[in-house]
Structure 1
Amino acid sequence: MLLRLPTSLSEAREHLAEQAVPVGGATLVWAQWQRDGFPELAMSLRRLPEANVLEPEALGAAVLLHRIDDRVPEVLHRAAGTIGTGAVRRAATVGGNIVGSTLRCLLPAALVLDARATVLDRDGPYETDLAEVVAKRHLLLNLSWRTPLISGYYKAPAEAGGPPPLVVATALSAGGDGRYRLRTAVRDGYEVATGSTECGAGAEDADEVLDGLAATGLGPLPPAARDVVRREVTGLLRRLDGR
């Protein structure tokens, strides 16, 4: 297997035209390649500047998970810290987790940040939403977002090799007229559901907020998952009270 390491977008586009297979840390595909055979040509973005940003409002696809720290919002930092073992986090990348993984542990966090994705095809880079990235498995360059006021992340305990644990991600941003916008994303099994609603400034509004979320894509969640959403949303609103 020949591995290309582009240092510019023009080089990366050339390698895509050559049918190079994008790889991140290869933590997900290595066993498959050993079984089915390695591709003739692969491409890593680890030397591409656009794929290596790590800033308060941007995160590159080639960034290793263990490097994600408190420069990014809490929800994203905590999500990265729960993925696999330390050895996995030192090899796996943001792009591999969101595009290449069936678990997509970072996806709920990125969704509540209302993140936009910059992707690359043979015609060049362009911006799109995360739903398209996941559905079409685009070559992800980076994510960008606006920093929320506060955010939170919960991942249920789980045994290695078992079913995907429940994930609840939340983020609260300033809205209009002194109100706020609450975004929530839940991974239940392999599916991710999202919802957002306006809310006031305190935990006393929790019931109203939860009613608003129940009218979104979070409505069909099973009771156990709804209970966790209630706890996480109420806790986020209490944190807002204490600011």
Structure 2
Amino acid sequence: MLLCLPTSVPEARQCLADGAVPIGGATLVWATWQRDGFPDLAMSLREVPEANVIGREALGGAVLLHRIDTAVPNVLRLAAATIGTGAVRRSATVGGNLVGSTLRCLLPAALALDARATVLESDGVRETDLAELIAKRPVLLSLRWRTPLASAYRKLPGGPGGEPPLAVASALHTEADGRRLRIAVRDGYAVLSGTAPCGTGTGTEDSLAALRDTALGDLPDDAWEVVRPQVTGLLESVGRD
């Protein structure tokens, strides 16, 4: 297997055009390749600057999980810190987790931030939403979002060999029509999300009731036992308009 290490987006596009297979941190594909055979050409974005950004409103797809720090919102930092072991976080990437993994531990946090994805294809670079990113699995260059007022994250302990543990991510945003709360929950392998207004005249119970009118209303009661205190704490931490 030959490994392509482009140092720019045009070089990465050419690698894709040549048939290179993206590998991320290779934590998910290595065992499969050992079983089924290695591709002739693979590609890593670890030398491409656009894929390695870490900032207040951006995170590159080639960033190793252990590098995600306080430069990004709490919801994303805390989500990354709960993924696997320290050894896994030192080799797994943002893109590998979101695009290559069925667990997608970072997805609830990205949804809560209302993030957009910049993706790389053989014919160019474009922006898309997270739904298309997950469905079509293009090469992720970076995630981008607007800085929230506050954010929070919690993942429950998981049992060995079972479904992924419940994870709840939330972020409070300022939008044109006032403050809005965005919540995303991973329940098993399903990820549900919803939004609710939370400005002047809207109490915490009003926001929670509005969330129940979204897709989050399908969550079981034990999930709401995690959602409720997180929403309450987030709103109390910033007060009202």
TM-score (norm 2): 0.96
Note the residue ranges of structure 1 that are not aligned, 5 or more in a row: none
**Residue 82 of structure 2 corresponds to residue 82 of structure 1:** yes
Question: What amino acid is aligned across from residue 161 of structure 2 in structure 1?
Answer: G
Q: 2:13 maps to which residue?
A: 13
> SS of 1:196's equivalent?
strand
C-alpha contact 1:201 1:241 (8 A) present in aligned 2: no
Q: 1:126 maps to which residue?
A: 126
1:162 to partner: Cα distance: 2.7
Q: 1:161 maps to which residue?
A: 161
Please give the residue correspondences for 1:162-201 in structure 2 after superposition, counting only pairs within 5 Å: 162-176=162-176, 179-200=178-199
Write the distance in 2 (CA, Å) between the matches of 1:219 and 1:212. Answer: 9
Q: 1:56 maps to which residue?
A: 56
- Percent of pairs identical after alignment? 66
Q: 2:227 maps to which residue?
A: 229
> SS of 2:92's equivalent?
coil
C-alpha contact 2:199 2:240 (8 A) present in aligned 1: no
Note the residue ranges of structure 2 that are not aligned, 5 or more in a row: none
Please give the residue correspondences for 1:13-52 in structure 2 after superposition, counting only pairs within 5 Å: 13-52=13-52
Give a deviation string over 1:95-149, Cα, whole Å, max 9, x none.
0000000000001101111111000111110001011000000110000111100
1:170 to partner: Cα distance: 0.3
**Runs of 4+ with >6 A deviation:** none
Over 3 Å counting, the alpha-carbon distance change for 1:196 and 1:242 in structure 2 is closer
C-alpha contact 1:5 1:47 (8 A) present in aligned 2: yes
C-alpha contact 1:201 1:240 (8 A) present in aligned 2: no
Write the distance in 1 (CA, Å) between the matches of 2:238 and 2:10. Answer: 45
Equivalent residues, number = 241
TM-score (norm 1): 0.95
Write the distance in 2 (CA, Å) between the matches of 1:75 and 1:242. Answer: 20
C-alpha contact 2:200 2:240 (8 A) present in aligned 1: no
Q: 2:210 maps to which residue?
A: 212
Write the distance in 1 (CA, Å) between the matches of 2:44 and 2:57. Answer: 23
